């Protein structure tokens, strides 16, 4: 693992790195290095499987983070490759030529976050939602309660209670539930 991360550092440049567990490391790289790095990892290292691809919305930084989780099924370890892209542009390179099932992940991210992957098939084809007419729902600035109030009327008489009122009495001095 250390050797591969060292080679990524030398050849591609690492913005930030983190070792979560013995079998799980994460590297942050620049967007232009995504396709070359993933191609190299798939062709020349044991990290051959794409376990998942997901996006994180960092609204306060104005950035999206894409996380590619690669797995080495023989060596039993995983590497997360993370990349930050601008929130306005929201475009990233597609990796569907490396892994066929990346098409589904990119289709879903396109629908739920509004990130565009040029060249990937099924971009813009609805995957989960149907007839959606708002901003992509997984973005942080999408307010699900406000949307619910507009579209899905609640039954009158529903009470909202704050659990703090009841549980607060049981919690002990130190704040432990089991005291």
Footprint on this chain of other proteins (rule: CB under 8 A): 18, 20-21, 23-24, 26, 48-52, 54, 56-57, 67, 69, 71, 73, 76, 78, 80, 82, 99-101, 103-105, 126-131, 133, 137-138, 140, 142, 144-145, 147-148, 151-155, 158, 163-164, 167-168, 171, 175-178
Closest CA to 136 of 87, 179, 83: 87
Cα within 13 Å of Cα(170), Cβ side: 7
Which tokens in the block code for residue 77?
């370890």
* 3 versus 100: smaller Cβ distance to other proteins: 100
* 33 versus 68: smaller Cβ distance to other proteins: 68
* 14 versus 80: smaller Cβ distance to other proteins: 80
Which residues touch 88 (CB under 8 Å, ≥6 apart)?
62
Q: How far is the CB of 58 from other proteins (least distance, A)?
A: 9
Which residues touch 93 (CB under 8 Å, ≥6 apart)?
31, 34, 35, 117, 118
* 12 versus 142: smaller Cβ distance to other proteins: 142
* 100 versus 161: smaller Cβ distance to other proteins: 100
Q: How far is the CB of 145 from other proteins (least distance, A)?
A: 5
Distance (Å, rounded) from C-alpha 117 to C-alpha 98?
14
CB 66 within 8 A of CB 53: yes
Q: How far is the CB of 11 from other proteins (least distance, A)?
A: 23
Q: How far is the CB of 38 from other proteins (least distance, A)?
A: 13
What is residue 17's three-state secondary structure? Answer: strand
Which tokens in the block code for residue 67?
């996380």
């Amino acid at each position: 693992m250390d050797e591969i991360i060292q080679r990524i550092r030398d050849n591609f440049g690492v913005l930030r790195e983190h070792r979560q567990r013995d079998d799980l490391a994460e590297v942050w790289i620049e967007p232009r290095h995504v396709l070359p790095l993933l191609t190299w990892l798939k062709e020349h290292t044991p990290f051959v499987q794409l376990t998942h691809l997901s996006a994180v919305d960092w609204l306060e930084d104005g950035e999206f983070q894409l996380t590619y989780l690669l797995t080495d099924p023989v060596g039993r370890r995983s590497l997360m490759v993370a990349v930050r892209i601008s929130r306005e542009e929201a475009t990233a390179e597609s990796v569907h030529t490396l892994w066929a099932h990346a098409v589904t992940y990119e289709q879903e991210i396109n629908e739920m976050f509004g990130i565009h992957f040029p060249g990937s098939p099924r971009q813009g084809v609805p995957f989960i939602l149907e007839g959606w007419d708002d901003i992509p729902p997984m973005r942080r600035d999408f307010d699900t309660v406000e949307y619910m109030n507009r579209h899905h009327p609640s039954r009158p008489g529903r009470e909202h209670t704050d659990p703090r009122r009841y549980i607060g009495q049981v919690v002990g001095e130190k704040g432990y539930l089991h005291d």
